């Protein structure tokens, strides 16, 4: 389980991610405080600017104010830009930080100065990054066009408004951010497959993450060549989509607050949304405050799991979740090693996965307790809100604008940690690093 020590110089790029996001949030706050960003006279309030900037940069989408009326079009463009930069920043930084090693797309854990890191030449990655970026931008444009046409035909009177909404929603969807130009998110499009399905598909693809998309782009015809990481992410995404959609439909089918009384078509379209959105997208065509408590609980778990690594989704990530499932399976079978797809998973990776998941549990539980102490909202709703912030999801049962400022700032911290990662955030608090020079004798305490 020995790990090579990193030269100090490597520590710098690792700290790039939190510092970049922090700087972006400060920049966004300053911009949103400008009078041009706020409707009417005066400027936005400091808490609203901080919260919105943090929510945009971390591609979450929670909002303490109504985006459609609180901000001017200039303010909304600022939010759009922060989301695009935040979302692109994740992809770019993941690339610069050297996720890629070896000749073909072998992917490696690169967890914040804890694991050895092979930074390849940028020249090797750049053409690939450009191809993926161009493809994504093309797909994003297609979604924007589809939405614009549909919006013009059914919802808005002019092409200008339709195009603005189409572009905004396409960008939000691809970056898994949940801001909307409507006060009711996408409720007015509920059951409209030509709006909900393009948006949901964009969210689903965005939540895969750049490393997976890059590998799919190169090797989509040869699933047998995919890395473990890509296989886990792709199959895990479809598995969670299916489980989430089926569970959502089962519980909400006849709930008058959500799907009850609607057509089959409406229900199935919303079921797809219900299976995809909670893992990272923050747009909603129905009121999450009206779902059954069972759906709220399942969505909370989905938000906690999140999407693919180095994607715009948050949470502990699909790979972490599935790896832990394999650990349990190996333990129950009595296997000497944890094996995933004919590859052995070493104890160091398992230890990291465990730490990520448990730190996340502690973080979400701890902040839930803090916000419960600050307010009188129900446990399930506060838990949902904290999971949404930590998972940078953006769904809410309606709490966000009703929270006191101190509770809002707790969510800001959660979104930030959810974005940069629990290990990266927690490592900052653990200063001492030691490396014993001898191997201590083993002892097995009784557990369980």
Site residues (vs K ion, CB under 5 A): 60-61, 176, 178, 282, 392-394
| Long-range residue pairs from 44-53, CB within 8 A, at least 24 positions apart, any chain | 44/70, 44/71, 44/75, 47/405, 47/408, 47/409, 50/25, 50/409, 50/412, 51/408, 51/409, 51/411, 51/412, 52/28, 52/79, 53/24, 53/25, 53/26, 53/27, 53/28, 53/29, 53/82
282 interface partner picked from its own copies, K ion, none, CB below 5 to 8 A per type: K ion
Distance in angstroms between the alpha carbons of the first and the last residue of the chain: 24
Q: Which is nearer to its own copies, 242 or 344 (CB)?
A: 344
Which does residue 176 touch among its own copies, K ion, none (CB within 5 to 8 A, set by kind)?
K ion
* 249, 259 Cβ separation under 8 angstroms: yes
394 binds, among its own copies, K ion, none (CB under 5 to 8 A by kind): K ion
Residue 298 interaction partner, one of K ion, its own copies, none, beta carbon < 5-8 Å per kind: its own copies
Question: Is residue 364 within 8 Å of 382, Cβ to Cβ?
Answer: no
Query: Which of 222, 224, 256, 434 is the binder for its own copies (CB under 8 A)?
Result: 434
Answer for which of 27, 369, 409, 413 binds its own copies (CB under 8 A) is 369
What residues numbered 311-340 form the site for its own copies, per CB under 8 A?
A: 316-317, 319-320, 323-324, 327-340
H/E element, 100: strand 100-101
Q: Using CB under 8 A, which of the segments 65-73, 179-187, 218-226, 355-363 binds its own copies? A: 355-363
- 364 lies in the binding site for its own copies (CB under 8 A): no
User: Cβ distance 58 to 415 under 8 Å?
Assistant: yes
Q: Please report the DSSP string for 262-316 in residue order.
A: S-HHHHHHHHHHHHHGGGS----SS-TTSS-HHHHHHHHHHHHH-S-TTSS--SS
- For the CB of residue 425, give the shortest distance to its own copies in the complex, in Å: 10
Compute the least distance from the CB of residue 88 to its own copies, in Å: 19
# chain residues binding its own copies, by CB under 8 A: 93
Q: Are 421 and 112 in contact (CB under 8 A)?
A: yes
CB of 8 to its own copies, least distance (A): 13
- State the nearest-atom distance from the C-beta of 133 to its own copies, in Å: 20
258 binds, among its own copies, K ion, none (CB under 5 to 8 A by kind): none
Q: Find the shortest distance in angstroms from Cβ 28 to its own copies.
A: 25
For residues 199 and 173, the answer to whether their CB atoms sit within 8 Å is: yes
Site string for its own copies, 90-109 (x = CB under 8 A): ---------x-------xxx
Could you tell which of K ion, its own copies, none binds residue 239, using a CB distance below 5 to 8 A set by kind? none
Of the pair 94, 207, the CB lying nearest K ion is at 207
| Stretch in the footprint of its own copies (CB under 8 A) among 35-43, 160-168, 215-223, 367-375 | 367-375
Q: x/- contact string, 169-208, with its own copies (CB under 8 A)?
A: ----------------------------------------
Interactions with its own copies, residue window 116-155 (CB under 8 A) = none
For the residues of 171-233, what is the DSSP string, one character each?
Answer: HHHHTT----SSTTTTGGGTT-HHHHHHHHHHHHHHTT-HHHHHHHHHHTT-GGG--HHHHHH
Residues present in the chain in total:
448
163 vs 387, which CB is nearer to K ion?
387
Structure tokens at 89: 């920043």
Interacting residue with its own copies among 296, 299, 367, 395 (CB under 8 A): 296
CB of 397 to its own copies, least distance (A): 12
CB of 352 to K ion, least distance (A): 24
Closest C-alpha to 246, from 225, 275, 219: 275
Q: Which of 187, 372, 405, 413 binds its own copies (CB under 8 A)?
A: 372
358 binds, among its own copies, K ion, none (CB under 5 to 8 A by kind): its own copies
Under 8 Å CB-to-CB from 213, ≥6 apart: which residues? 132, 136, 205
The β-bridge partners of 345 are 338
CB 390 within 8 A of CB 417: yes
Interface residues for its own copies in 222-261 (CB under 8 A)? 227-229, 232, 251
Binder to its own copies among 33, 125, 350, 413 (CB under 8 A)?
350
Q: Which of 195, 356, 363, 414 binds its own copies (CB under 8 A)?
A: 356
Q: Which stretch binds its own copies (CB under 8 A): 167-175, 238-246, 390-398, 430-438?
A: 430-438
């Amino acid at each position: 389980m020995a790990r090579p020590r990193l030269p100090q110089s490597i520590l710098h790029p690792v700290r790039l991610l939190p510092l970049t996001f922090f700087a972006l949030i400060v920049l966004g706050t300053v911009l949103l405080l400008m009078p041009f960003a706020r409707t009417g006279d005066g400027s936005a309030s400091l808490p609203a600017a901080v919260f919105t900037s943090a929510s945009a940069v971390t591609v979450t989408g929670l909002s303490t104010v109504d985006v459609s009326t609180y901000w001017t079009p200039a303010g909304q463009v600022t939010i759009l830009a922060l989301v695009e930069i935040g979302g692109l920043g994740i992809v770019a930084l993941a690339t610069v930080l050297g996720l890629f090693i070896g000749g073909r797309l072998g992917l490696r854990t690169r967890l914040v100065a804890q694991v050895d890191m092979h930074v390849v030449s940028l020249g090797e990655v750049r053409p690939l990054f450009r191809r993926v970026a161009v493809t994504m931008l093309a797909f994003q444009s297609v979604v924007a066009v589809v939405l614009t046409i549909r919006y013009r035909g059914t919802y808005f009177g002019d092409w200008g408004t339709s195009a603005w909404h189409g572009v905004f929603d396409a960008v939000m969807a691809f970056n898994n951010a949940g801001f909307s130009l409507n006060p009711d998110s996408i409720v007015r499009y509920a059951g409209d497959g030509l709006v909900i399905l393009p948006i949901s598909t964009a969210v689903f693809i965005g939540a895969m993450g750049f490393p997976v998309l890059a590998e799919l782009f190169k090797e989509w015809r040869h699933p047998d060549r995919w890395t473990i990481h890509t296989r886990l992410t792709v199959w895990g995404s479809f598995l969670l989509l299916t489980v989430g959609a089926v569970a959502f439909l089962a519980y909400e089918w006849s709930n008058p607050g959500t799907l009850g009384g609607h057509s089959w078509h409406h229900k199935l379209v919303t079921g797809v949304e219900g299976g995809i959105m909670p893992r990272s997208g923050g747009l909603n065509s129905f009121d999450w405050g009206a779902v059954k408590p069972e759906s709220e609980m399942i969505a909370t778990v989905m938000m906690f799991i999140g999407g693919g690594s180095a994607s715009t989704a948050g949470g502990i990530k699909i790979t972490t979740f599935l790896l832990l499932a394999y650990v349990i399976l190996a333990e129950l079978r009595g296997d000497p090693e944890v094996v995933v797809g004919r590859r052995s998973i070493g104890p160091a990776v398992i230890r990291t996965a465990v730490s990520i998941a448990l730190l996340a549990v502690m973080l979400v539980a701890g902040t839930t307790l803090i916000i419960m102490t600050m307010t009188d909202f129900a446990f399930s709703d506060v838990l949902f809100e904290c999971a949404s912030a930590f998972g940078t999801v953006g769904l809410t049962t309606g709490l966000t604008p009703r929270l006191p400022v101190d509770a809002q700032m707790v969510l800001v911290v959660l979104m930030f940690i959810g974005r940069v990662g629990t290990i990266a955030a927690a490592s900052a608090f653990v200063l001492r690093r030691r490396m014993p020079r001898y191997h201590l004798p083993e002892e097995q305490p009784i557990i369980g």
